[in-house]
Amino acid sequence: MRKLIIYTLLAIITTATIISSCEKAASEKDYGFSKIFMPQAIFKSGGTSINYPVPSGTDSSTYNYEIDAKEKKLNVILGATLSGVNNEGFSVDIKVDNDTIQQLLTTNVLDPALYKILPASMYSLPASLEVAKGALSGTFNLSVDIPQLKLDQYIGKFLVLAVKLANPSKYELNGALSTTIVVIDVNALVIGPAVNITNTYILNPGGPFIASAMNGSRWGTLKDWKANATALSHGGVGGFSSDGDGATMDLESGWGSPLIANGKIYQTINLPAGTYAFDPSGGAWKWQGTKDAAYVVVAPALDTLPDYNMIVGSATVMYKQIAQPQPLVYFELGAPGKVTLGIVVNYVQDQQGIKSTKVALYNYPKHL
């Protein structure tokens, strides 16, 4: 794959050189001058920018990176090429130019809300590159730590780094093409395209929700979902309401109803191995008025959800605090198995709760 990328880049550069030469008068041609450049600087844009998106394509023939599963590294393939005959061999230093990126952020050429400078703790680069005599090009890796790419703070972001060549031992640098701005699309790499599998695996997922029992015309218990005793706070039922907001998943206390200590609503399902995300809000809560911290929880290999005081800091479950909009809870299964997912609350203060019109479960077949 690395050779294919190099050959493709060289073909682009050769074509560009031929076109450029045709446009010059004979007296203006730089005969005998060889210059070093980064082919990635024009690989994707064709010369309109020096941006190099990662990933550059959607399948293995167009990937511009390699995965080191053992070391958990994403290796972005970069390189240097000589636009001429290499009779001596050469070396170049490899540097980072954060000033260029900062200027693009300051002037809003890059949206600061979406684009972030790739943190130094997250990557490594070689100090230099050696290209042997007779070779036209050489490659090196921008090696990025995959676990850090998966941190919540980078979801939906683009991580950017300007990598440049400097101090050639022979020949000259092509100043316009000696820097490449690597633009890492975190979601495209880490998450990939989502496939909504809610209706395949979750019973009674909402839109609208269905009750299995009612206490009057408003409060009920969710069909196919389990609720513990404290969640059944409306005269022996709980987890469902039918009111002006429609038929919703509902955990609500106060306004004349009891507080809910360690209340749980959950469902246990079986899933194939893979990467998933669960969202009990369906994208946004119909109403979210929690005063005490409450949690969306995913518990692989368990038949129930842990108690409220066992969630934060747990190494066996994944969780997110309930918020508006609700962040997805991502989880991975290395083998087929059961997973319990749902909500755990501990309403100590009066008058609070959540309402959802539907839940969502996503699968990510392409991901890091």
Whether 203 has a pLDDT exceeding 90, the answer reads yes
Q: What is the pLDDT of residue 196?
A: 93
Position 297 confidence tier, pLDDT thresholds 50, 70, 90: very high
C-alpha distances in Å from residue 240, one per residue of 8, 76, 296, 346 = 59, 49, 17, 17
Alpha carbon 199 to its chain's center: 24
What does the pLDDT read at residue 18? 37
Name the band, by pLDDT with cuts 50, 70 and 90, for residue 38: very high
Q: For all residues of the chain together, what is the average pLDDT?
A: 88
Residue whose structure tokens are 């260029």: 100
Confidence label for 57 from pLDDT (cuts 50, 70 and 90): low
pLDDT reading at 3 higher than 50:
no
Give the pLDDT score at 115: 95
**pLDDT bracket for residue 49 (50, 70, 90):** confident
The answer to whether the beta carbons of residues 181 and 160 sit under 8 Å apart is yes
Q: Which residues contact 52 (CB under 8 A, 6 or more apart)?
A: 40, 41, 43, 44, 64, 78, 180, 181, 182, 183
* N residues, the chain: 368
Q: Where are the domains of the chain?
A: 2-190, 196-363
Q: How confident is the model at residue 32 (pLDDT cuts 50, 70, 90)?
A: low
What is the reported pLDDT for 23?
46
195, pLDDT greater than 90: no
In this predicted structure, the answer to whether residue 13 has a pLDDT above a threshold of 80 is no
For position 29, what pLDDT does the model report? 45
How would residue 224 be classed by pLDDT, with cut points 50, 70 and 90?
A: very high
Is pLDDT of 27 > 90? no
Please give the pLDDT value at position 19.
Answer: 39
Q: Quick one: pLDDT at residue 7? A: 42
Residue range 305-319: mean pLDDT, rounded: 96
Asked whether the beta carbons of 53 and 63 are under 8 A apart, the reply is: no
Tell me: pLDDT of 6 over 80.
no
Predicted pLDDT of residue 31: 44
Tokens of 283: 């994208």
* Residues 277-289 pLDDT 10s: 999 999 889 999 9
Q: What six digits make up the tokens of 196?
A: 């909504």
What does the pLDDT read at residue 25? Answer: 46
Question: At 268, is the pLDDT very low, low, confident or very high (cuts 50, 70, 90)?
Answer: very high
Architecture of domain 2-190 in this structure? Sandwich (2.60)
Residue whose pair of structure tokens reads 């994707």 in the numeric block: 44
- Does residue 22 carry a pLDDT above 50? no
Q: Report whether 300 contacts 331 (CB < 8 A).
A: yes
Q: How far apart, in whole angstroms, are the C-alpha atoms of residue 280 and residue 296?
A: 7
Contacts of 306 (CB under 8 A, 6+ apart): 297, 299, 314, 316, 317, 344
Assess whether pLDDT exceeds 50 at residue 246.
yes
pLDDT at 269: 98
* Average pLDDT score over residue span 19-25: 44
pLDDT at 366: 66
Q: Taking residues 335-358, report their average pLDDT.
A: 97
The mean pLDDT value for 231-247 works out to 96
Distances (CA, A) of 65 to 71, 172, 368: 15, 28, 12
Q: What is the pLDDT of residue 15?
A: 40
Establish whether domains 2-190 and 196-363 are of one fold.
no
pLDDT surpasses 90 at 292: yes
pTM: 0.59
SS (H, E, C) the chain: CHHHHHHHHHHHHHHHHHHHHHHCCHHHCCCCCCEEECCHHHHCCCCCCCEEEECCCCCCCCCCEEEECCCCEEEEEEEEEECCCCCCCEEEEEEECHHHHHHHHHCCCCCCCCEEECCHHHEECCCEEEECCCCCEEEEEEEEEHHHHCCHHHCCCEEEEEEEEECCCCCEECHHHCEEEEEEEHHHHHHCCCEECHHHHCCCCECCCCEEEEECCCEEEECCCEECHHHCCCCCCCEEEEECCEEEEEEEEECCECCCCCEEEEEEEEECCEEEEEECCCCCCCEECCCCCCEEEEEECCCCCCCHHHCCCCCCCEEEECCCCCCCEEEEECCCEEEEEEEEECCCCCCEEEEECECEEEECCCCC
CA distance between the termini of the chain: 18
The domain 196-363 having CATH identifier 2.60.120: the answer here is yes
Q: Which pLDDT value is given to residue 192?
A: 72
